[in-house]
Amino acid sequence: MTRIRPYVAADAPALRGIFTEAVQVGARAQYSAAQRDAWSGAAQHCPPDWGDRLGDHLTFVAEQDGDPVGFMTLGRDGHLDLAFVLPQVMGQGVADALHDRILAEAQARGLSRLTTEASLRAQPFFRRMGWRLVAHQTVEIRGQRLDNAVMEKPLQALRKLPPR
């Protein structure tokens, strides 16, 4: 059973591990080893600003049997910055559950749309979840060029109930 909960600072090293494994193993078919190393920053175990990056966003963690298996982050501007699950739980609904929680929070906050820059690996997931392609792009990370896509999802804000 997957449980979704808010991020706490102690999660930072485990989420860095999920990020690294998702990039290095999960995206193996889409990106070269050099591209994956550049993207994951393989030389850095857990950079000092990693926890700040997670804490500065609305971050949710997916757990199974008490262990983190995935996470997603949402900025105040509606940008979904990080969305990663362990390769061994891909296809088990973990990303769907995280996405549903992010979506509910975004709607409750009155956001009108979400944006992301989706990797080649993540694009089919986002399309399935109702996101649309805005543009293909190539980004440079640590000297490597990686293809991804700018995507968006229009939202309908939840109506706030009048006070009683």
The Cα-based distances of 110 to 68, 72, 75, 152 in angstroms read 28, 19, 13, 16
Q: Phi and psi for 152 in degrees, rounded to 5?
A: -145, 160
Residue 149: how many other CB atoms lie within 10 Å: 20
pLDDT of residue 153: 97
Q: How is residue 134 written in tokens?
A: 């805005």
**pLDDT confidence tier of residue 27, bands split at 50, 70 and 90:** very high
Once rounded to an integer, what is the mean pLDDT over residues 130-156?
A: 95
pLDDT of residue 158: 55
Once rounded to an integer, what is the mean pLDDT over residues 99-111?
A: 94
pLDDT of residue 53: 87
pLDDT of residue 49: 81
Q: How is residue 117 written in tokens?
A: 């820059």
Domain over 2-154 is classified CATH 3.40.50.880: no
